[in-house]
Amino acid sequence: MAGKKKFSLLVVSFFLFAVMTGSISGLLFAAYHDLPKLRGLKDYKPDVVTKIFSEDGKLLDELFRQKRIWVPYQSIPVNLRNALVATEDREFFEHKGIRFMSILRALIIDIRKGKMVQGGSTITQQLAKQLFLTSEKTIARKIKEALLAIQIEKRYTKEEILELYCNHIYLGSGAYGFEAAARTYFGKAINDISLGEAALLGGLPKAPNRYSPKNNLNLAIGRRATVLSGMREEGYISRELELATRSERVELAKSKKERGRAGYLVEMVRSELIKKYGAEKVYREGLSVTTTLNLDYQESAEKSMKEGIEKINKRLLRKKKLKAGQSAQGALVALRPQDGAILALVGGTGFSRSAFNRVTQARRQPGSAFKPFVYLAALDTGFTAADIVIDSPISYSESPGKRAWKPVNFSKRFYGPVTLRNALERSLNVATVKLLERVGVDSVIQMSRNLGIESELAPYLSLGLGASVVTPLELTSAYASIANGGVHAKPYFIRSVTTADGEILEESVPELTDAIRPEVAYTITKMLVGVVENGTGKVAKKLQRQVAAKTGTTNDYKDAWFAGFTPGIATGVWIGLDDNGSMGKGETGGHTAGPIWTRFMAEALQNRPAHDFTPPENIVVKSIDQHSGKLATPKCRDKINEVFIVGTEPLEYCRKETEDDGRI
């Protein structure tokens, strides 16, 4: 009887073993035929961060879906390698991809339970899962993982496998790979981390979000102790070093601020890259992008705008010109006239609050900041800065039945005969409209196009007073063309784009076109210097160097502009409300935008020597009576030195009554 029971038990055991063996064999067969194809891992490159730099190589921002910075095996510190092996896979350098007995033991338990409950994966298995499989917890997935690990081990060295693992694995807080993790948690390159930091990083793969020092520092320190203990047990470190490192304080990097370094320009770069190369290349292939931005200028621009807007908001609140939660807005852009490089760009009071880039997207009336283009067109057709225009009342009827348009000056006064210089310095509306009428609207539109303004310009006399809308970038680019001796340099902001392998995808070459004759550009420049010295741009006199600039203020104080340049930098500032509301009386270009412009330029120019504008060869300087525009005699009381293109200088001297009265 006992023999029969023993035999029956043996049969049942054999049957169970056969079933289990058959089940495992069936699973292995099914898994093998359903394995994904093993790609050439030597050529495999996961998503890598695209980096955007300033002109002098300072990091502005990074673009990524997975924040990863690839490092070769040789650059992975020995302490980190040892921490990983001691914690994740102590037999890594001995096994062939799997620890068979561990797998079998775990598999039997999983089959009995009908679900995944045991771990035991080697580093190679973890890599196989990350590269080729999902994270679903099934027995079939576990078998595939083991089979793939064996194949990987047959084809690649341990160093290649560990390099892939160290660069691919997710380590919490958005960091993929140990280089990104070292920078994220400690603000260091992986080569600079300490033993304690290596141990902390080495403990993350098990549960990156749980052991992230940013999420739970105490848990991370406890996990570090476990890793150090493993390293000591494996003989990588001594007991004394383990104890000393356990007490090492964890110094975490300060959290990176939300995109603050040139957020508006970084967004311009991102959009341009995607348009040229596609999102996949930008977010996956680790491009290196050098911009034209000067980070010192950019920080000065952001600071000047921030402090300027705060003062403006206080005034507007007192005037009750702001709604609840509303702020005045601004735009500032600085260009290098010689090549069009954007040196600084502020598209608003904060990219995180509003991504609308007012430098490139806001189209606003420039007001009197547009007037220099009328005077340029006049100078280009033979007028001089000393020619006379009559500033007196006038009206225009555009069509029958419509109310006549009567331009008036800001002061509500008329000044009679004035030179073109005086008219521009005082920003006289009536004199400018009369000059535009004589020059022709089409000539001014063509002049504006030559200088770089692309927005639609309405062919009416009100154009001369800045009635057509433009962007701050367009207006500043036009002023930069004057600063560059009449040569327009198309604005640009990407200097070069390079792949992760060092291949140059693009290198920018300045796009230069002749806009106006150098002598005409120099003449208007000297007239704009007069705007600063004697006219509406006096706020810029604080710079104590030669500056050419013009203010702009639109009807009902909706827009305030200040645009100008020195020989090496051109800058434009716009201030207004996004809803196109009035900022209230007194918010003029000189008073509202001027201080921001001046503060920025003061910081941008502080280490630059002062240079005057250099005249071209065919320029002469004559002493004239500033009221009549004629050559001055010794008796003239109001004399100035005026610049003329050779052959256009006056020949007649001022009359006796001018000498006596100082005016006509």
Cβ pair 316, 349 in contact under 8 A: no
Closest CA to 527 of 643, 367, 368: 643
Residues 435-462 as b/e (b if ≥16 CB within 10 A, e otherwise) read bbeebebebbbebbebbbbeeebeeebb
- The catalytic position among 212, 304, 368, 448 is 368
User: How is 278-289 classified by DSSP, letter by letter?
Assistant: -HHHHHHB--EE
SS in 3 state form for 218-253?
A: HHHHHHHHHHHHHHHHCCCCCHHHHHHHHCCCCCCC
Partnered with residue 488 across adjacent β-strands are 513
Alpha helical stretches, state H, 34-173: 78-88, 100-113, 123-132, 139-155, 158-168
Would you call 91 a catalytic residue per the annotation? no
Residue carrying the six token digits 């256009």: 648
User: Which H or E run contains 333?
Assistant: strand 329-336
User: Is 88 part of the annotated catalytic residue set?
Assistant: yes
Classify 86 as helix, strand or coil: helix
Q: For residues 207 and 159, what is the distance between their CA atoms, to the nearest angstrom?
A: 24
Which segments of 347-422 are extended strands (E)?
388-391, 416-419
Quote the tokens at residue 611: 């240079």
**What residue has token string 């198309």?**
490
N-terminal to C-terminal alpha carbon distance within the chain = 143
Burial 212-231 (b: 16+ CB within 10 A, else e): bbeeeeeebbebbebbbbbb
- At 215 the three-state DSSP class reads coil
Neighbours of 113 (CB within 10 A): 11
Exposed/middle/buried for 85, CB within 10 Å: 0-12, 13-18, 19+?
Answer: buried
The sign of the dihedral angle between the CA atoms of 472, 478, 482, 484 is: positive
Helix then strand count (H, E) for the chain reads 22, 18
Distance CA 466, CA 367 (A): 4
**Rounded distance, CA 664 to CA 660, Å?**
10
**CA nearest to 83, candidates 151, 150, 156, 181:** 181
Which of 600, 561, 558 lies closest to 580 in space, CA to CA?
Answer: 558
User: Of these residues, 54, 55, 88, 642, which one is catalytic?
Assistant: 88
Length of the chain: 664
**Helices 239-246, 195-202: crossing angle, 10 deg rounding:** 80
What distance in Å separates the CA atoms of residue 69 and residue 502, rounded to the nearest whole number?
A: 15
Handedness of CA 242, 248, 250, 253 (dihedral sign): negative
What's the one-letter identity of residue 259? R
Q: Indicate which residues carry an active-site annotation.
A: 88, 368
